[in-house]
Amino acid sequence: MAPMGAFAERLAEPGVVEQCSLAGTFGFMAYHGGELEKQTDVIATEAAASSGASLYVVCHPADDHITSTLVRRADSELLDRFLDHVEVVVTVHGYGRENMFTSLLLGGTNRPLARALRLLLEPAMPHYEIIDDLDRIPAGLRGLHDDNPVNLPRGGGVQLELPPRARGLGPRWAEWRGDGHVPPMTALIDRLAALAREWSGGDGAARRAP
């Protein structure tokens, strides 16, 4: 029997929950969800539900990071099925960097899709900087490695890195008492769903990596 990979070992740990829903050929992923990169699974799940997109999420019970290049399809039948089914994907991640509290980073190999997402997000999130220039994204957050799951669908994908503030976390939202999600998170879910619907209803090939 082949040895278990690091991701298979993680999936076997108590409290780790893996979910997959196959629907449209546009997909959302958040495999660092739960307590690891908080709210990323919620954002991906609600965007998929609103747009009829496919979904793959993993929720972790503790903040114990596993690098994206170790999230391998050989370790998960559900991930393998998901990657075979979708044409393109947006993977939702969380990050924290000093002086980047309002910066959303759009990495991954599908640059036309990243640009399309930026154009949707900019008017909806005017207090945030939407960065799709790879030279301005820290090297470790660009999501360009061949083994990164965001790049494995046929058309590649976009690695969306969100600071805590955009996910409704941190001191900025400590006193939030509104209904539902904080405004930037609501806008983000809405625009992600719009991207999925636009891609699915139009010429998806135009948004794949060249």
Residue 34 lies in a domain: yes
**What does the alpha-carbon distance between residue 38 and residue 177 come to, in Å, rounded to a whole number?**
19
Structural contact between residues 80 and 147, judged by C-beta atoms closer than 8 angstroms:
no
Residue 1 lies in a domain: no
Assign 208 a pLDDT band (cuts: 50, 70, 90). Answer: very low
pTM of the model: 0.93
Taking only the tens place, the pLDDT of each residue in 102-151 is: 999 999 999 999 999 999 999 999 999 999 999 999 999 999 999 999 99
Domain assignment of residue 203, given as a range: 6-207
CA atoms within 13 A on the CB side of 133: 4
Residue 106 lies in a domain: yes
**What does the alpha-carbon distance between residue 22 and residue 18 come to, in Å, rounded to a whole number?**
14
Assign 4 a pLDDT band (cuts: 50, 70, 90). Answer: confident
Query: What domain count does the chain have?
Result: 1
Round the average pLDDT of the chain to a whole number and report it.
Answer: 93
Owner of token pair 């494995």: 152
Question: What is residue 175's predicted lDDT score, i.e. its pLDDT?
Answer: 87
Residue 65 lies in a domain: yes
Residue 75 lies in a domain: yes
Output b/e per residue, 1-27; b: 16+ Cβ within 10 A: eeeeeebeebbeeeebebebbbbbbbb
Residue 62 lies in a domain: yes
Taking only the tens place, the pLDDT of each residue in 23-55 is: 999 999 999 999 999 999 999 999 999 999 999
Residue 67 lies in a domain: yes
pLDDT higher than threshold 80 for residue 81: yes
CATH number at residue 67: 3.40.630.100
- The letter for the amino acid at 173 is W
pLDDT higher than threshold 50 for residue 210: no
pLDDT higher than threshold 80 for residue 1: no
